Amino acid sequence: MLQFSDQSLVIGPEALPALATLLRQPAVSRVLVLADSNTARVCYPQLKPHLPIDHVLIEIPAGEEYKTIQTCDTVWTTLTEERADRFSVLVNLGGGVVTDLGGFCAALYKRGIRCAQVPTTLLAQVDASVGGKTGVDFLGFKNQLGVFQEPAGVFIEPQFLTTLDPRQLKAGYAEIVKHWLIADAEAFNTERHNGLFVDDWTSIIRESVTTKQRIVAADPLEGGLRKVLNFGHTVGHAIESYLLTQPGREVLHGEAVAAGMVCETWLSVKKGLLDEDALDKIETFLFSVFEKIQFILLETEAIAEYARQDKKNAGDVINCTLLERIGSAVYDQPVTLAEIIDSLRYYHRL
């Protein structure tokens, strides 16, 4: 196996040169790059000078709807046809779909080859590419199939964010806000007055990644503490999964998480964990950044049903991560389907 020690996470303009150094190691036999149709066009030209001349580009369609086993089949077929061996490295260039799916493909191909993550969206830079979670959607459920597999390295070049439209940038910002709410009250109270008015994302990315890394290091396989990172995701994934079944109404992951954070903050108050003042602060801030997701009251039960498949559940018990105060979360909080429906109805009324 490749060993990269302190080079496993590089943030800033030195990221791509560090990746080039990694890929020149004698232990690397082949380099293959996975990109979607967007990153192949917009980001690959910036990455290409840092790659070996004889690398292979694998291009997949862009979009959450392609985060499937069928797409994995395409990737595995190409790896096989290109005779990639166990000393090959798959470089995943893209947002959360590419980093999740590419990591999953690498983990299963020949019982595991190494991958390097080069996240190009804010969401992937602060969340999806860090922590070793990989996976694909299955039967309409988010990340239903997956494994824990740490990448050989994560190389974050903030300049890639200039390729994003404002909606994609907002979606990534939701995960940064989540990190503040579960672990950094001071940052939330300071940064909520700045919102998206950021000239250089480097320091915010570094702080957010540091928060996630600290939590993951304490609980790599999500047996306990790491579950706090799922704040906003029980209801958020349910919203996202349901709307994926409604053509033309799909939402981005971060948009759904922002809505989920409103719902789960409200649940925190209803469970007696959080005070109304904190709910008001969080709610006011989130709605100052994110547009409200539209659904009708008749859909709340159908949306909530998706929470039954949440990976944190134990049997028939829906386990949720809730807040006990801004900057502190508690995991494995049981909620009923009726309570999730009520939280969606609350969100709908706002």
**CB under 8 Å to 44, separation ≥6 — which residues?**
33, 35, 57, 93
Residues 65 and 200 in one domain: no
Look at residue 4 in the predicted model and tell me its pLDDT. Answer: 41
Residues 336 and 252 in one domain: yes
Residues 92 and 81 in one domain: yes
> Of 2, 55, 51, nearest to 25 (Cα)?
2
Can you state the angle between helices 276-289 and 166-183, rounded to 10 degrees? 160
Alpha-carbon distance of 111 to 107, in angstroms, equals 6
Residues 130 and 226 in one domain: no
The CA-based angle 116-38-123, given to 5 degrees, is: 55
- How big is the chain, counted in residues? 350
Residues 193 and 82 in one domain: no
What stretch of H or E contains 322? Answer: strand 318-325
Look at residue 11 in the predicted model and tell me its pLDDT. Answer: 96
Of 108, 130, 163, which residue sits at a domain end? 163
Look at residue 196 in the predicted model and tell me its pLDDT. Answer: 79
CB atoms under 10 Å from CB of 160, counted, come to 25
> Of 55, 72, 67, nearest to 19 (Cα)?
55
Please list the ranges in the chain whose pLDDT falls under 70. 1-7
Q: How many domains does the chain have?
A: 2
Alpha-carbon distance of 204 to 36, in angstroms, equals 26
Look at residue 20 in the predicted model and tell me its pLDDT. Answer: 97
pLDDT of 317-350, one tens digit each? 899 999 999 999 999 999 999 999 999 999 999 9
Asked whether the beta carbons of 229 and 217 are under 8 A apart, the reply is: no
Look at residue 5 in the predicted model and tell me its pLDDT. Answer: 43
* CATH code of residue 259: 1.20.1090.10
- Write down the pTM of the prediction: 0.91
Asked whether the beta carbons of 40 and 63 are under 8 A apart, the reply is: no
CB atoms under 10 Å from CB of 11, counted, come to 20
Of 163, 188, 207, which residue sits at a domain end? 163
Residues 149 and 175 in one domain: no
CB < 8 Å & 24+ apart, contacts of 278-282? 278/323, 278/325, 278/326, 281/192, 281/326, 282/181, 282/326
The secondary structure of 304-318 as a DSSP string is HHGGGG-TT-BTTBE
Look at residue 197 in the predicted model and tell me its pLDDT. Answer: 74
Q: Which domain covers residue 308, as residue numbers?
A: 166-349
Structure tokens given for 155: 């190389």
Alpha-carbon distance of 106 to 332, in angstroms, equals 31
Look at residue 192 in the predicted model and tell me its pLDDT. Answer: 83
Alpha-carbon distance of 238 to 336, in angstroms, equals 14
Residues 53 and 119 in one domain: yes
Residues 12 and 113 in one domain: yes
Residues 192 and 275 in one domain: yes
What stretch of H or E contains 56? Answer: strand 56-60
Alpha-carbon distance of 115 to 153, in angstroms, equals 7
Look at residue 2 in the predicted model and tell me its pLDDT. Answer: 39
Asked whether the beta carbons of 236 and 260 are under 8 A apart, the reply is: yes
Alpha-carbon distance of 76 to 63, in angstroms, equals 19
Residues 142 and 220 in one domain: no
Look at residue 195 in the predicted model and tell me its pLDDT. Answer: 73
